């Protein structure tokens, strides 16, 4: 199996081949073996190939290793690929999948270098694979191709959700798929389908917020964007993660146990996964935590009975990072690593994101199969899913990419990033219409986050924990953006900490505050607190007596001290708006764009009100500082003539929307249903439909709102909802019961 190839010569060969030859088989010659015949159905190709494979080759297909293991000598080295580790991982152990976990980039981190690296790895794999089975490479492109310098970084999902824009979400994902594929990556560990119900959790910003209906629709749009109409050589496989129950750790901390009732699982957590599966998502990633006392990674109930037998998911289930080992080291359901592997694969995991020690994983599987503790049929089933995915993605036919084309594909999309960031801006407070700042002659911008893009980019931006301090990428900061749009004859001053005296005629202060970037457990924020230095800055700004607008760069609701909250004249929730975020903020501050984002979560008054979900219990909104859907505008939208057509779970509401203000603006119409009798949901208001419109001043349009009323059915387990009411703004109408 070992065929030593000198990496230097390998790279040279690749450079010559990867730009021209895109195929492993010559189009003129008849494919020698059935599995190499692209005219055969995928199932037949898989069956043919599987029958030819040795146990070692099969196990290799179930193994995923982080690319840094192949760089240098140590696990986390970055730099040139190491001949020794290529040989161990791709040669000896026949590993069939690699990933770049956050920050695992080639040096230098350029689109071309990514393409060359994946080509090199693919070439090595194909040279050392007896049956020429290509590698599948995965990354977390959770807001654009976010590991690569030069790629536009889109708002993180929490901000994207505030746009309520399904088409925009699809377009962003389609663009991301093109960028990924141009760098040789055909598997994206996205979208996050977890419903964000606890803002203390470090991954809240990766979710589409608290609502299952909104989450489901944006998950579907993401899958459609990434996978296109059908998987193929121009698309990437999507991953619904993290199955299931990851987003509500009981203590709000990442990877801590969750308790979820069957009813809540059905009504809240499963719908986005079900919708994503229906849309054809190719893979799922498993929840690292424990649900109702059982680690998801060893749960046959979740991974086989629920995922396969009930939900009929046909795709690939990949573990999360090192989570099989964690069955032994953290959850302690296994006493040895080998037993952990037996539990996980036996429960239904197909591929292990190992991610470092290939020999340990492959030898454990081998021993288990040989001593009969793991049926070969289970291994074969998992291998079939991996091979099917590789065939569907066209990897056998087009394993390489053209490095010269990577740059333009990766850097495209700044306009889309700007549009998304603009649409996400959510105006929460605007006392006496301080905003827009158009008429203000002298504005002072304060706070280091106005000049440092790290907060607006958030985690998963070049580095796992965000843009490393010593690195730089093209990004428009808030100060940059404000300079770009500064109206003639007005003055803009920047002060990091307000230590110097304000210019005498200062008529507004823009304070840019927020959270440091972070990811996963490092980003947990148990008190929903704004860093002390930012609170102090806001107090200094308020102490000046000038009107203050705060721009919040954060992936969750943060609780400002009462005096600060009261003192601010305006508050703009900018979320983590990405590389064009500063310009989007500036456009909203100066009124070039009327803000149109609406909160995709409930903003609590205090941590003691958590969990804090739109209308979860009657009267709960009294505890909300800003209810779900809050979002002010520079214009006014009025509704009239609400009606509903149709029957059953799919109905359509219609309503006339008029922009009765002075400026053009975008607006999302939200339709809620409330069971009036029957059901056990305590009168919970459920989002059942939404539509976004853009209207000129004075314009009226009748908009259609497709309603999905399935949640109303589940809202009443064992008891039919007898009647329900639909509300759009202040308008109400009876809803034919679903
Ligand atoms: C761990 C994270 O939980 C998961 O979301 C991610 O896809 C993997 N690491 C790979 O980076």
Q: Are residues 398 and 435 in the same domain?
A: no
Per the CB < 8 A criterion, the answer to whether 497 and 524 are in contact is no
Residue 721: per-residue pLDDT: 64
Strands, E assignment, 447-507: 491-495
Best of 201, 242, 285 for a ligand 1 pocket test (most atoms within 8 Å of beta carbon): 285
Query: Which of 188-192, 591-595, 609-613, 641-645 shows the lowest mean pLDDT across its residues?
Result: 609-613
Centre of ligand 1 to C-alpha 326, Å, is: 14
Q: Are residues 478 and 371 in the same domain?
A: no
- CATH code of the domain covering residue 454: 3.40.50.1700
Overall residue count recorded for the chain in this entry: 738
Provide DSSP, 423-445.
Answer: HH-EEEEEGGG--S-TT-SEEEE
User: Does 632 map to a domain?
Assistant: no
Q: Are residues 555 and 616 in the same domain?
A: yes
Q: Are residues 23 and 78 in the same domain?
A: yes
pLDDT in tens, 202-243: 999 999 999 999 999 999 999 999 999 999 999 999 999 999
Is residue 471 scored above 90 in pLDDT?
yes
Q: How confident is the model at residue 484 (pLDDT cuts 50, 70, 90)?
A: very high
Residue 289: per-residue pLDDT: 98
Q: Are residues 510 and 600 in the same domain?
A: yes
CB neighbour list of residue 287: distance below 8 Å, 6 or more residues apart: 242, 243, 244, 245, 246, 296, 297, 320
pLDDT in tens, 77-136: 899 999 999 999 999 999 999 999 999 999 999 999 999 999 999 999 999 999 999 999
Q: Are residues 584 and 665 in the same domain?
A: no
Question: How many whole angstroms separate alpha carbon 423 and alpha carbon 552?
Answer: 15
Q: Note the Cα 737 to chain centre separation in Å.
A: 34
Residue 22: per-residue pLDDT: 41
Mean pLDDT of 522-537: 98
Q: Are residues 534 and 641 in the same domain?
A: no
User: Does 340 map to a domain?
Assistant: yes
Residue 649: per-residue pLDDT: 84
Exposure string for 367-401, b = 16+ CB within 10 A, e = fewer = ebbeeeebeeebbeebbbbbbbbbbbbbbbbbbbb
Residue 350: per-residue pLDDT: 99
Residue 455: per-residue pLDDT: 98
pTM of the model: 0.95
Q: Are residues 436 and 402 in the same domain?
A: no
Residue of 264 and 576 predicted with greater confidence: 576
Q: Evaluate the CA torsion angle 332, 335, 336, 339 in order and state its sign.
A: negative
Q: What percent of the chain has pLDDT over 90?
A: 86
* Domains of the chain: total: 3
Q: Which residues make beta-bridge pairs with 294?
A: 291
Q: How confident is the model at residue 24 (pLDDT cuts 50, 70, 90)?
A: very low
User: Does 631 map to a domain?
Assistant: no
Per the CB < 8 A criterion, the answer to whether 466 and 459 are in contact is yes
User: Does 88 map to a domain?
Assistant: yes
Centre of ligand 1 to C-alpha 72, Å, is: 23
Q: Nearest C-alpha to atom 7 of ligand 1 is from which residue? A: 189
Best of 241, 321, 355, 523 for a ligand 1 pocket test (most atoms within 8 Å of beta carbon): 321
Residue ending a domain, choose from 409, 434, 469: 409
37 is catalytic: no
Q: Which residues make beta-bridge pairs with 427?
A: 572, 632
CA distances from 527 to 88, 197, 208, 379, 622 (A): 46, 15, 21, 45, 20
Is residue 346 scored above 60 in pLDDT?
yes
Q: Are residues 449 and 564 in the same domain?
A: yes
User: Does 646 map to a domain?
Assistant: yes
For residue 430, give its domain range: 413-626
pLDDT in tens, 657-697: 999 999 999 999 999 998 776 544 455 678 999 999 999 99
Per the CB < 8 A criterion, the answer to whether 642 and 731 are in contact is yes
Residue ending a domain, choose from 600, 626, 652: 626
User: Does 147 map to a domain?
Assistant: yes
Q: How confident is the model at residue 28 (pLDDT cuts 50, 70, 90)?
A: low
Q: Nearest C-alpha to atom 10 of ligand 1 is from which residue? A: 101
Question: How many whole angstroms separate alpha carbon 279 and alpha carbon 258?
Answer: 27
Question: How many whole angstroms separate alpha carbon 623 and alpha carbon 340?
Answer: 44
Centre of ligand 1 to C-alpha 321, Å, is: 6
Q: Which residues make beta-bridge pairs with 669?
A: 691
Joined together, the tokens standing for residue 349 give: 């995991």
Residue 21: per-residue pLDDT: 36
Residue ending a domain, choose from 409, 430, 454: 409
Residue of 567 and 10 predicted with greater confidence: 567
- CATH code of the domain covering residue 670: 2.60.40.10
Which DSSP letter does residue 168 get? H
Residue 683: per-residue pLDDT: 56
Strands, E assignment, 49-172: 63-66, 97-100, 136-139
Q: Are residues 425 and 377 in the same domain?
A: no
Q: Nearest C-alpha to atom 3 of ligand 1 is from which residue? A: 320
Q: Are residues 78 and 190 in the same domain?
A: yes
Q: Are residues 88 and 33 in the same domain?
A: yes
Residue 648: per-residue pLDDT: 84
Residue of 9 and 422 predicted with greater confidence: 422
Centre of ligand 1 to C-alpha 459, Å, is: 12
Helix boundaries (H) for 510-652: 532-543, 562-567, 581-589
Q: Which of 198, 320, 323, 350 is catalytic?
A: 320
């Amino acid at each position: 199996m070992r065929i030593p190839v000198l990496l230097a010569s390998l790279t040279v060969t690749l450079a010559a081949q990867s730009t021209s030859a895109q195929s492993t088989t010559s189009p003129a010659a008849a494919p020698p073996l059935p599995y190499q015949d692209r005219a055969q159905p995928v199932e037949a190709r898989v069956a043919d190939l599987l029958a030819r494979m040795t146990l070692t080759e099969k196990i290799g297909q179930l193994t995923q290793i982080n690319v840094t293991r192949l760089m240098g000598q140590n696990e986390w080295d970055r730099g040139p690929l190491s001949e020794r580790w290529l040989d161990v991982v791709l040669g000896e152990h026949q590993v069939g999948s690699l990933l770049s976990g956050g920050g695992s980039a080639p040096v230098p981190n350029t689109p071309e270098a990514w393409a060359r690296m994946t080509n090199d790895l693919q070439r090595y794999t194909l040279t050392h694979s007896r049956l020429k089975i290509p590698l599948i490479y995965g990354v977390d492109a959770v807001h654009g191709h976010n590991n690569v310098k030069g790629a536009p970084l889109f708002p993180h999902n929490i901000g994207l959700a505030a746009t309520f824009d399904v088409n925009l979400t699809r377009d962003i994902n389609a663009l991301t798929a093109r960028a990924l594929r141009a760098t040789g990556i055909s598997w994206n560990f996205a979208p996050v389908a977890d419903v964000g119900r606890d803002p203390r959790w470090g991954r809240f910003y990766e979710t589409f917020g608290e609502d299952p209906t909104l989450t489901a629709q944006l998950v579907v749009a993401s899958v459609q964007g990434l996978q296109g109409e059908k998987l193929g050589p121009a698309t990437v496989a999507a991953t619904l993660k993290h199955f299931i129950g990851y987003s509500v750790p009981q203590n709000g901390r990442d990877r801590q146990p969750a308790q979820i009732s069957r009813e809540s699982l059905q009504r809240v957590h499963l719908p986005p996964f079900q919708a994503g599966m229906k849309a054809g998502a190719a893979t799922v990633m498993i929840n690292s935590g424990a649900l109702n006392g059982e680690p998801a990674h060893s749960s046959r109930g979740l991974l086989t009975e629920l995922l396969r037998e009930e939900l009929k998911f046909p795709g690939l289930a990949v573990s999360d990072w090192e989570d099989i080992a964690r069955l032994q080291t953290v959850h302690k359901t296994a006493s040895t690593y080998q037993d952990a592997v037996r539990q996980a694969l036996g429960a239904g995991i197909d591929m292990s994101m190992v991610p470092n020690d290939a020999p340990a994983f492959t030898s454990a599987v081998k021993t288990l199969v040989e001593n009969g503790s793991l049926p070969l049929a289970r291994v074969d089933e998992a291998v079939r899913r991996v091979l099917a995915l590789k065939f569907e993605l066209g990897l056998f036919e087009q394993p390489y990419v053209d490095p010269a084309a990577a740059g333009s594909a990766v850097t495209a999309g700044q306009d889309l990033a700007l549009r998304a960031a603009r649409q996400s801006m959510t105006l929460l407070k605007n006392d006496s219409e301080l905003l827009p700042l158009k008429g203000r002659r002298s504005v002072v911008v304060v706070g280091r986050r106005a000049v440092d893009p790290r907060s607006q980019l958030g985690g998963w931006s070049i580095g796992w924990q965000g843009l490393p301090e010593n690195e730089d990428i093209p990004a428009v900061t808030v100060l940059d953006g404000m300079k770009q749009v500064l109206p003639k004859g007005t003055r803009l001053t920047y002060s990091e900490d307000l230590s110097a005296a304000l210019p005498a005629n200062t008529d507004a202060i823009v304070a840019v505050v927020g959270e440091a970037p972070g990811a996963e457990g490092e980003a947990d924020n148990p008190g929903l607190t704004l860093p002390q230095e930012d609170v102090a800055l806001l107090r200094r700004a308020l102490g000046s007596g000038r009107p203050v607008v705060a721009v919040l760069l954060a992936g969750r609701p943060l609780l400002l001290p009462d005096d600060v909250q009261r003192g601010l004249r305006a508050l703009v929730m900018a979320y983590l708006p990405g590389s064009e975020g500063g310009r989007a903020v500036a456009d909203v501050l100066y009124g070039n764009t009327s803000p149109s984002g609406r909160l995709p979560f409930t903003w609590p008054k205090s941590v003691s009100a958590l969990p804090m979900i739109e209308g979860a219990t009657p009267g709960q909104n009294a505890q909300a500082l800003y209810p779900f859907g809050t979002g002010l505008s520079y214009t006014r939208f009025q509704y009239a003539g609400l009606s509903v057509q149709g029957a059953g779970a799919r109905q359509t509401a219609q309503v006339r929307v008029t922009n009765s203000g002075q400026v053009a603006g975008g607006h999302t119409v939200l339709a809620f249903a409330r069971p009036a009798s029957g059901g056990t949901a305590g009168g919970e208001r459920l989002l059942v439909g939404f539509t976004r419109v853009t209207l000129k001043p004075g314009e009226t349009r009748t908009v259609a709102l497709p309603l999905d009323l399935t949640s109303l059915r589940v809202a009443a387990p064992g008891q039919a909802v007898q009647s329900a009411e639909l509300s759009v703004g202040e308008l109400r109408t009876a809803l034919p019961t679903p």
